[in-house]
Amino acid sequence: MQECFFVFCGVKMEVLKINGVEKHFPAGLMPSTVSALLEQLDIKAATVAAEVDGQIVERNKFTEAKLLSGQRIELVRFVGGG
Amino acid sequence: MDKLVIADKEFNSRLLVGTGKFASCEIMAEALEKSGTEIVTVALRRVDIENKNDDMLRTIDVKKYLLLPNTSGARDADEAVRLSKLARAATGINWVKLEVTPDPYYLLPDPVETLEAAKILIKEGFVVLPYINADPVLAKKLEDVGTSTVMPLASPIGSNQGLKTREALEIIIEQANVPVVVDAGLGLPSHAADAMEMGADAVLVNTAIATAGEPGRMAAAFKLAVEAGRTAYIAGAAVAGKRASASSPLTGFLRNNKEK
């Protein structure tokens, strides 16, 4: 995928759309993998499933799966249900 | 009680419990414990990034209970398949309670999309437990494509109306070669006992426990009811009749004495 970015106050910014909300990072500070993102969001990886651009990333690939600016990330976990 | 076998797994409890609508995780944990259940259903939602404490799994002992993720929220087969795959990625378990409910008022399951999703999921290696209306023809079709149970509803989800689909459930139970789990609408332990007496293999209860005055105590009541119903089914019901049939001897000595 083509990497995308934009410039904000002279600083190059990168963006991830996480659960429908855009999150901006100064270039170079964007988490580079799914595990890095979870760590930054303070979310335990053990109970989470992740999709990157509609493709499921298995948990054992969280540390390897590279993130690129502009990607859509879905993070889901279990809640009460019948 | 005799064991319930679903796919290749054996269970001692015939009561499945849903985890929605509990006032707190602690109340839920107590209810699960008292219900004696071994299978608990859960739903998938986006992580609330602003509230890291929304992790409910911290109070469910996954060594003790089999987590059965549902596909609630799915309105067609594609959405149900996507949710199932996410659930499998989150649990590592390939069991799924398939539910496709496009109608928000009665939450009635879509038979066409459910059958379609079941076919896809079974090809992908899932153990599929489909939530369906009490439709005997659909139940057979699902069984034929390889679902591991059928889960017909007693009445609409969360309605607590009890066994409104009795006649159709009886046909499903009579014809099924996979376990029949009566799901949705059971509002009282007597409803659950009734379903089990009819020959249902198991029942799934959520709202009736979660929204009871004391969920833990109600969970215990459902446990007893399911056990009673199952035991009665195995014992074989006595025949019902219109007229009285004396349980005590009527050949009295009282009048005979008077006649002397």
Q: Would you call B164 a catalytic residue per the annotation?
A: no
Q: ∠B64-B23-B55 over CA atoms, to 5°?
A: 55
- Selecting among B3, B9, B97, B258, the annotated active-site residue is B97
Calculate what percentage of chain A has a pLDDT beyond 70: 88
A-chain residue closest to B87, CA distance: A49
pLDDT (0 to 100) of residue B42: 93
pLDDT (0 to 100) of residue B256: 64
Strands, E assignment, A1-82? 6-8, 11-18, 21-26, 48-52, 55-57, 72-80
Cα separation of the two ends of chain B? 55
Could you give all domains of chain B from N- to C-terminal order, each with its CATH number? 4-259 (3.20.20.70)
pLDDT (tens digit per residue) in B161-173 = 999 999 999 999 9
Mean pLDDT, residues A51-77 = 91
Give residue A46's Cα distance to chain centre.
Answer: 16
pLDDT (0 to 100) of residue B141: 98
pLDDT band at A4 (very low <50, low <70, confident <90, very high): low
CB contact B37 to A (< 8 Å): no
pLDDT (0 to 100) of residue B257: 59
* Residue ranges of chain B whose pLDDT lies below 70: 52-57, 256-260
B89 CB neighbours in chain A (<8 A) are: 49-50, 56-59
**B226 and B212 in contact (C-beta within 8 Å)?**
no
3-state secondary structure chain B: CCCEEECCEEECCCEEEECCCCCCHHHHHHHHHHHCCCEEEEEEEECCCCCCCCCHHHHCCCCCCEEEEECCCCCCHHHHHHHHHHHHHHHCCCEEEECCCCCCCCCCCCHHHHHHHHHHHHHCCCEEEEEECCCHHHHHHHHHHCCCCEEEECCCCCCCCCCCCHHHHHHHHHHCCCCEEEECCCCCHHHHHHHHHHCCCEEEECHHHHCCCCHHHHHHHHHHHHHHHHHHHHHCCCCCCCCCCCCCCCCCCHHHHHHC
**B195 and B203 in contact (C-beta within 8 Å)?**
yes
- Average predicted confidence (pLDDT) for chain B: 93
Beta carbons of B90 and A20 less than 8 Å apart = no
Query: Which residue in the set A42, A57, A75 is minimally distant from B46, CB to CB?
Result: A75
Mean pLDDT, residues A41-69 = 89
pLDDT (0 to 100) of residue B209: 97
A21 CB neighbours in chain B (<8 A) are: 49
Enter the pTM of the model. Answer: 0.87
pLDDT (0 to 100) of residue B49: 78
* Pairs of CB atoms within 8 A across A/B: 101
pLDDT (0 to 100) of residue B136: 98
pLDDT (0 to 100) of residue B260: 47
pLDDT band at A5 (very low <50, low <70, confident <90, very high): low
B residues 164-193 lying closer than 8 A (beta carbon) to A: 184
Q: Which amino acid is at B75?
A: R
pLDDT (0 to 100) of residue B61: 83
Give the contacts of A41 (CB within 8 A, at least 6 positions apart): A18, A75, B49, B52
The total of other beta-carbon atoms located within 10 Å of residue B39's CB is 23
Query: Which residue in the set A42, A58, A78 is minimally distant from B52, CB to CB?
Result: A42
Beta carbons of B57 and A41 less than 8 Å apart = no
A6-77 topology per CATH: Ubiquitin-like (UB roll) (3.10.20)
Q: How far apart are CA B130 and CA A11, in angstroms?
A: 52
pLDDT (tens digit per residue) in B10-28 = 999 999 999 999 998 899 9
A34 CB neighbours in chain B (<8 A) are: none
